[in-house]
Structure 1
């Protein structure tokens, strides 16, 4: 099994605004860092660029961005997020994104070779927000091991 992750964030300003210029300028570097990280498997891109910034999980919210990726393990994802150059941008998230009261990140297991679907990922985030962490949708803090082979996730 591999670990899928989805995170969302509402920008403080639209692309092109100086307040988010550093965020957009760093995307290629941070994406390359992810792809070079041990345990990286896949990340979502929009097909027109090397990132997913044109994809919108909510049609009515043009400032909400989405990011999704797959990793070999929780440790591999954790190391990339919190123990690499990516952490410099995690520390700066309040410069680029508005605070949100609800969960912005969801994790779940997918069979190796599976590419997660954005619609399914958003359902898992909604489920996490409504029900809390379960094996279906969880967080780094409240984590679940993969289900036994043959079980339904």
Structure 2
């Protein structure tokens, strides 16, 4: 069992209210994207959302200070999950059903050059971060840039604080394994 898990918090803002026709493609893709993530090799767990079916929420869901509620519905797409490795997360994010939905994100999300779409950080095995911790890491990334406590795939760190680069061969192998798993399910 690994001594650390990779935590990831994703955040975006919708171009329109969640129930609008403009977001229908997102709503249609969301169940398949979540299923692809949850069935991916290296996935450990994810937070659900209060009042919704699925996994329990890891605390009260909060949003970063940069959130402006521009669509007026009081909701922003965000996720919080734990992974065995950066490569496993990258394989699940950029390939398969989730990858297909990810590539369409420009249709549903407001482009904000100064706001990242996600933050990564390591947690000790057995620690489950809550939404407040995730938002604090996200805001750390915005304020300080990539560092050992809040980083991105492009500027990543190992649990010991050393700079690392994802293993692209491993990402491809895990993406292929995920494809095999999804076709046999």
Instruction: Please classify the TM superposition score into its range, dividing by the shorter chain length.
Output: 0.7 to 0.9
Work out which of the residue numbers 149, 157, 161 in structure 2 matches 1:144: 157
**Which residue is equivalent to 1:151?**
none
Segments of 5+ residues of structure 1 without an aligned counterpart are 149-153
Work out which of the residue numbers 137, 145, 159 in structure 2 matches 1:132: 145
Work out which of the residue numbers 92, 96, 99 in structure 1 matches 2:104: 92
Find the aligned partners of 2:63 and 2:83 in 1 and give their Cα distance: 21
**After TM superposition, where is structure 1 displaced by more than 3 Å over at least 4 residues in a row?**
none
The verdict on how the C-alpha distance between 1:88 and 1:43 changes in structure 2, with shifts beyond 3 A counting, is: same
The alpha-carbon deviation at position 33 of structure 1 amounts to 1.0
Find the aligned partners of 1:10 and 1:81 in 2 and give their Cα distance: 18
Find the aligned partners of 2:95 and 2:28 in 1 and give their Cα distance: 21
What is the SS of the residue equivalent to 1:10? coil
What is the SS of the residue equivalent to 2:156? coil
* Conservation of the 8 A alpha-carbon contact between 1:13 and 1:63: no
Q: Give the TM-score, by structure 2 length.
A: 0.73
The 5 Å alignment of 1:44-83 reads: 44-49=47-52, 50=54, 55-57=61-63, 61=69, 62-83=74-95
What is the SS of the residue equivalent to 1:126? helix
Find the aligned partners of 1:12 and 1:116 in 2 and give their Cα distance: 28
Q: Give the TM-score, by structure 1 length.
A: 0.87
Segments of 5+ residues of structure 2 without an aligned counterpart are 162-185
* Conservation of the 8 A alpha-carbon contact between 2:32 and 2:98: no
Say which is worse superposed, 15-24 or 43-52, in terms of deviation.
43-52
Work out which of the residue numbers 106, 123, 126 in structure 1 matches 2:119: 106
User: Paired residues, what number?
Assistant: 147
